[in-house]
């Protein structure tokens, strides 16, 4: 009788630990909740260890569970590296790049400035105003506004970004604020702090906010590299000193040495340094 868990049991376990429950882990893993629940019970039995605090605590991890989760995360990184190694033999390697809304948009629109179809790497853009996990290689490269402080991440500062207010004309005095429950970027927080009484409507994504601004509804805050070329909008303020931010190119400290990731880092860094040079 087989007693050792399958490799995919560790992946399922890591998903449950990461999401804190069966339902979200099942959705992320592409299996039913019943199947995943059954696999986790069998997984604990095969290991002979209690991994979850069953009952009112749901799927909270025990001490053994936390120790195993640390090891399982290393297995996930290894699996990603094996998949990349396999892909290298069959064509350009996909490099996942995450950034905030406007930086991701700019990188996509100007991809030809730093990448060509005959490159050894293939860009995969992942828009997210939250920091995806580079440690587990959810993404290979992240463009962030702060220096990374985790020891397993490497970062290089490549410039800075300035922001200003934009509208269809200076006569527009209302503001477009962040919708309830949306990710509040520094610029959205600034609008709430300084112009909350003047908010006339709200949006849950930056692109929707721009659409409202272009319709003449209110003002938005945009990075200069986007706002200065946005059709239908004009700058109605000086650069906002409070919002000036650093720009960092972040990657896994070991993954950055992989040839496709290194090539992508160098190419993107060159483009962004030209776009937003350091003072």
pLDDT tens for 188-230 read: 999 999 999 999 999 999 999 999 999 999 999 999 999 999 9
Distances 43 to 105, 157, 185, 200, 237 between C-alpha atoms, Å: 43, 44, 41, 54, 60
Cβ count near 167 (within 10 Å): 24
133: closest CA among 193, 73, 92? Answer: 73
Residues 6+ apart with CB under 8 A from 274: none
Q: Read off the tokens for 13.
A: 């376990």
**Burial of 15 from C-beta contacts in 10 A (0-12 / 13-18 / 19+):** buried
Report how far residue 228's alpha carbon sits from residue 161's, in angstroms, rounded to the nearest whole number. Answer: 13
- Below-70 pLDDT ranges, the chain: 1-4, 55-58, 84-91, 127-137, 277-279
In which residue are the tokens 């000086």 written?
238
Burial of 186: CB neighbours in 10 Å, binned 0-12, 13-18, 19+: middle
Q: Taking the model in full, what pTM does it have?
A: 0.66
SS3 165: strand
Query: What local confidence, expressed as pLDDT, does residue 3 receive?
Result: 62
Q: What is the pLDDT of residue 50?
A: 87
Taking a C-beta distance cutoff of 8 angstroms, is the pair 153, 142 a contact?
no
8 A C-beta contact, residue 127 and residue 82: no
Residues with Cβ within 8 Å of 84's Cβ and at least 6 positions away in sequence, in order, are 93, 258, 260
């Amino acid at each position: 009788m087989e007693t050792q868990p399958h490799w995919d049991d560790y992946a399922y376990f890591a998903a449950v630990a990461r999401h804190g429950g069966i339902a979200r882990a099942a959705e992320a893993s592409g299996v039913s909740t019943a199947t995943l629940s059954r696999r986790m019970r069998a997984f604990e039995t095969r290991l002979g260890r209690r991994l979850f605090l069953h009952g009112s605590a749901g799927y909270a991890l025990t001490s053994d569970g936390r120790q195993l989760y640390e090891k399982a995360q290393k297995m996930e990184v290894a699996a990603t590296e094996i998949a990349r190694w396999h892909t290298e033999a069959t064509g350009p390697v996909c490099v996942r790049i995450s950034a905030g809304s406007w930086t991701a948009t700019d990188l996509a629109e100007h991809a030809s400035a730093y990448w060509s179809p005959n490159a050894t790497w293939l860009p995969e853009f992942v828009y997210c105003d939250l920091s995806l996990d580079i440690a587990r290689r959810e993404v290979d490269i992240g463009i962030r506004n702060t220096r990374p402080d985790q020891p397993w991440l490497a970062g290089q500062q490549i410039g800075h970004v300035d922001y200003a207010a934009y509208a269809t004309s200076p006569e527009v005095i209302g503001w477009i604020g962040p919708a309830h429950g949306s990710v509040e970027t520094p610029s959205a927080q600034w609008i709430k702090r300084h112009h909350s009484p003047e908010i006339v409507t709200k949006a849950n994504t930056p692109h929707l906010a721009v659409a409202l601004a272009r319709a003449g509804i209110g003002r938005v805050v945009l990075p200069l590299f986007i706002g200065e070329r946005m059709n239908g909008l004009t700058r109605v303020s000086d650069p906002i000193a409070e919002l000036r931010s650093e720009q960092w190119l972040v990657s896994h400290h070991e993954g950055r040495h992989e040839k496709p990731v290194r090539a992508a880092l160098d190419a993107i860094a060159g483009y962004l340094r030209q776009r937003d040079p350091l003072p």
